[in-house]
């Protein structure tokens, strides 16, 4: 069964460092997402990406965050200067496009745990 793959599974970084989290969505999916889950809390929407541009971003997704689809397969989330409060699990997800795209299941990767010291 096709899956969304994320790397790294766990990254530890120092405050102020740049971090790049990588995702390979399912190949025929056209909607891509990043979500964040602070330990023990809800899964929060960060950003959606469609047709090579951001279609929506949440208030969490400030200027420190950026996303890119550099080569048609990878989908990356960059945090420019990490803060302690960026420590969380980051989930990548993708969705198929269709006549009723909202009906299509969001398939999530296993997550990348980011620890900022």
Partner 1 sequence: AQKVTQAQTEISVVEKEDVTLDCVYETRDTTYYLFWYKQPPSGELVFLIRRNSFDEQNEISGRYSWNFQKSTSSFNFTITASQVVDSAVYFCALSEEMDSSYKLIFGSGTRLLVRP
Interface with partner 1 (CB under 8 A): 31, 33, 41-45, 48, 50, 55-56, 89, 91, 93, 95, 100-111, 113
Closest approach of Cβ 101 to partner 1, in Å?
A: 5
With respect to partner 1, which residue has the nearer C-beta, 42 or 59?
42
Strand partners, 98: none
CA 117 to chain centre: 21
With respect to partner 1, which residue has the nearer C-beta, 1 or 62?
1
Spatial distance between the Cα atoms of 40 and 48, rounded to a whole number of angstroms? 23
> What contacts 7, CB < 8 A, 6 or more positions away?
21, 22, 112
With respect to partner 1, which residue has the nearer C-beta, 41 or 73?
41
**Cβ atoms 9, 92 nearer than 8 A:** no
Closest approach of Cβ 65 to partner 1, in Å?
A: 16
Closest approach of Cβ 81 to partner 1, in Å?
A: 26
Any idea which residue has 């990356």 for tokens? Answer: 76
Closest approach of Cβ 23 to partner 1, in Å?
A: 14
């Amino acid at each position: 069964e096709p899956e969304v793959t994320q790397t790294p599974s766990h990254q530890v970084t120092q405050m102020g460092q740049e971090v790049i989290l990588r995702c390979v969505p399912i190949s025929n999916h056209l909607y891509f997402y990043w979500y964040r889950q602070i330990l023990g809390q809800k899964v929060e929407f960060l950003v959606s990406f469609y047709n090579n541009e951001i279609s929506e971003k949440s208030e969490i997704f400030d200027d420190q965050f950026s996303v890119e689809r550099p080569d048609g397969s990878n989908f990356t989330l960059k945090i420019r200067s990490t803060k302690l409060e960026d420590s969380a699990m980051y989930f990548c997800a993708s969705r198929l496009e269709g006549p009723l795209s909202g009906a299509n299941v969001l398939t999530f990767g296993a997550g990348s745990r980011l620890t900022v010291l």
